[in-house]
Amino acid sequence: MSEMNEVTASHDEHPAWKLWPRIEFAILHFCVLAICAVLGGALWVQFVAGEYPCPLCILQRMAMILAAMGSVFVITHGHYARVQGFSVMGLGYGMSILAALVGLAIATRQILLHIAPGDLGYGSPVLGMHLYTWAAVVFLVVLLVSGLMLIFGRTPILHCPVCHEVESPEESNKKFIRLRWYSWAMFWIFGAIIFINVFATFAESGFHAFLPDNPSSYRLFEE
Amino acid sequence: MVAAGIFLSLLILLILTLRRHAWPTVFFFFLSLALIVLLFLHHATDSLKLNL
């Protein structure tokens, strides 16, 4: 048993493994910012190109935000191996996988609605494919990255505020977690994207419970 | 309004990821996921006027 530990320890000391936590932390930030970029593109199509998102498009945005929430959780809690009995990586990537599966189901339904030859699809194509097809690609990539991170990720993993320091009792008693500036920047960008979506969706639905199947105006301002 | 409410719950979930405790995050994650699935089922079946 002790020999096995020594073998593991010697592998852990390889310089490439020392660099991995930083790479992993960067990948997590990149994943959240990539989803922010996709959602930003969708908002650009909505407000600049003037195309109204249908209910399925809105649902895909929600699933994308939920999928990115897994990465956000690992970024904020990654310096712990476990939180209240939950494996941090298991919970974070599990959230991403479940949300991506739901999002993939929604995107697949919309693709199948318009897949018949001659159907022009909903909205304008971007780089040859419609936005809902790109959304399916995004959800597949989320599934792939989450699976790979579950295999190659390490806990406690990250080059984050407290992972190389001993946490003081005052710090560990605080309700909220301390983040570095670049994590805060990612957090605020992501928060802003969600906030804009709250108002964009409210403007489209107005005071009706559900969105129209084929929206042609912002009902909040029309009525 | 339902869709805007789900986005709002996602915003709350984002703030909850900053908390040390994991349970609020887990609760709001499943709440948001269930609401997204229910809204999807509504939009997928409403126009069919199914008589169940």
Residue B51 backbone dihedrals phi, psi, to 5 degrees: -110, 90
**A207's tokens:** 């005071």
Minimal CA separation from A192 to chain B, in Å: 9
> For residue A199, what pLDDT is reported?
93
What is the phi-psi region of residue A127: left when phi exceeds 0, alpha when psi lies from -120 to 50, beta otherwise?
Answer: left
**Minimal CA–CA distance to A102: which of B9, B38, B2?**
B38
pTM value is 0.88
Residue A82 backbone dihedrals phi, psi, to 5 degrees: -135, 150
**A29's tokens:** 């930030």
pLDDT by residue (tens digit) across A111-148?
999 998 888 888 888 888 999 999 999 999 999 999 99
Asked if A76 and B18 come within 8 Å (Cβ–Cβ), the reply is yes
Q: What residue type is assigned to position A35 of the chain?
A: I
DSSP letter for A74, please. H
Residue A11 to residues A2, A18, A68, A201, Cα–Cα distance (Å): 14, 10, 31, 51
pLDDT at A104 over 90: yes
List CB contacts (< 8 A) between A172 and chain B: 20
User: What's the ipTM?
Assistant: 0.93
pLDDT by residue (tens digit) across A6-48?
555 555 567 777 777 788 888 999 999 999 999 999 999 999 9
CA distance A212 to A205: 7
Mutate which of A57, A60, A66 to test chain B, going by most B C-beta atoms within 10 A?
A66
Residue A60 to residues A99, A137, A182, A186, B41, Cα–Cα distance (Å): 10, 12, 27, 21, 13
Q: CB–CB of A63/A100 below 8 Å?
A: yes
Residue A129 DSSP SS3? strand
DSSP letter for A168, please. P
Asked if A198 and B8 come within 8 Å (Cβ–Cβ), the reply is yes
DSSP letter for A162, please. T
Q: What residue type is assigned to position A122 of the chain?
A: Y
List CB contacts (< 8 A) between B8 and chain A: 198
List CB contacts (< 8 A) between B13 and chain A: 66, 69
